[in-house]
Copies of this chain bind each other. A is one copy, B any other.
Amino acid sequence: MAEDRRGAILRLASWTRSDNPITRHMVGVQPPDSINLAGGLPAPELFPVEEVRAATDRALRRFGPRALAYGPVAGLPELRALLARRFSRPGRRLGPENVVVTSGGLQALDFLGRALLERGDAILAQFPTYLGAIDAWKPAHPRHLALDWDAAPDAQQAAMQAAKFTYCVPNFSNPTGELVPLPRRRALLAAARAARALLVEDDPYGALYYDGSPLPTLFDLEAGDGGEGPYRGNVLHLGTLSKSIGPGLRIGWAVGDAAVVDAICMAKQGSDIGTSSFVQAVALELLEAGVDHAVHDRMIETYRARRDALVAAAQEHLSRRFVFEAPVGGMFLWLRARDPALDTGTLWPVAMAEGVSYAPSAVFDASGALHDCLRLNFTLNPEPRLVEGARRLARAVERHLQQPPAASGSSEDKPG
């Protein structure tokens, strides 16, 4: 009766039926003694708490009441100017009109979808795809086309033209951790230019290279062709402070053509009206003081050791059942089951019972069909926890494989 009444009060839109509970698990309160390898979470002991306190003092002295007032929808002009300078290159001078500050990196994807997508429009995206992006675009019921990095130029252009935009994470893709090599980057950019297509480059992990030299981003590669006028380009470049200062600030940005920035602002105006001026003022002080670079240096040391520990533990405990490659950077190790019948969705509750969680591959596939892979995060936990997590996961896999196959109706616990 109470349920009936509640059902009548709340008539949800149809997209909500394809809910993804894994994000809430990742960022939510964890069961005690469970090892969370699911989330894309940074190491909290590296958060620059004292630097944030000092930056807040400076920001409130500098901005006074302005730090507590509404500001322009696109963000604090001083912060946008700093980001414009940071992403300017010889041959491409950016101004504040090329930058919108967002409340975390995902919000740019949400607002881009809102401004561009009509119901049923297509998106061409790297596959498997960041689950936040899949969530953000759900209300428009888009068709998801899988980006083929090796497509012939004509086919690539046609695919891009069939979609409202193309989405990729060339640096240590979420979820696979893949580093897209330079020739593929060049080819994709060339196809976007020929197709006159919008190319969205999400770069949360671009500072987290543990081996070798950073590759130029798509946005870097595009510079130099623009001449001296206002920037008019195909690439919208997304970044965030979540992987340097901390995700609790919720500060991200989108940098690109002013018309694309305007479109994002149109959606932002109808959602949060602008990112917190207070946090933006603090972020400005942190960036001016170079705190993000200092934290990155510490992160690279810490995360490299953790990656090495997880890769070694996976080699020892998981390679019998999974194949994987050690990632060059980022936050994730991606494992593919040797047996394609292994379902990482039904494995999930078994792993939780063993005291470890991960992200099952189905959540990175809008159709939910990708069942034989899983993503492990190596940045949140110290080495012994990573090793123990791999051990627990190996135990869970063996237990799972010994279970009789579940009836199709009994898999309600699985998160994917």
Contacts and interface: CB of A to CB of B under 8 A. Distances in A.
A267 B64 CA distance: 33
A273 to B, nearest CB: 6
B245 A68 contact: yes
B24 A269 contact: yes
A37 to B, nearest CB: 15
A296 interface: no
A158 to B, nearest CB: 14
A76 B67 CA distance: 22
Contacts of A259: 6, 9-10
Contact of A13 (B52, B103, B118): B118
B270 A136 contact: yes
A92 interface: no
Contacts of A13: 114-118
B49 A68 contact: yes
Contacts of A20: 269
Contacts of A72: 24, 27-29
Contact of A115 (B5, B16, B49, B118): B16
A316 to B, nearest CB: 30
Given A116-B13, A266-B16, A270-B106, A24 B73 contact: yes
B60 A103 contact: no
Contact of A232 (B5, B12, B52, B135): B5
Interface in A236-282: 245-250, 257, 259-260, 263, 265-267, 269-279, 282
* Chain A: interface size category: 35 or more
Nearest to A77: B29
A16 to B, nearest CB: 5
Nearest to A251: B276
A6 B70 contact: no
Contacts of A407: none
Q: For the complex formed by this chain, how many copies does it contain in all?
A: 2
A115 B12 contact: yes
A246 B273 CA distance: 14
A147 B135 CA distance: 33
Interface string A15-38: 010011001101111000000000
Interface stretch (A40-48, A202-210, A322-330, A340-348): A40-48
A132 B263 CA distance: 17
A403 interface: no
Interface string A158-192: 00000010000000000000000000000000000
A196 B5 contact: yes
B272 A106 contact: yes
A352 B413 CA distance: 60
Contacts of A263: 10, 12, 16
A138 B266 CA distance: 11
B14 A118 contact: yes
19 contacts: A2-B232, A9-B197, A9-B198, A10-B116, A10-B259, A12-B116, A27-B273, A28-B73, A66-B248, A68-B248, A68-B249, A69-B247, A70-B248, A104-B272, A106-B270, A106-B273, A110-B270, A135-B270, A139-B270
8 tightest A-B CB contacts, nearest first: A68-B246, A135-B270, A248-B277, A44-B65, A8-B196, A68-B248, A27-B70, A47-B68
Given A52-B67, A110-B272, 7 more contacts: A10-B263, A13-B114, A16-B115, A53-B57, A136-B271, A138-B270, A247-B277
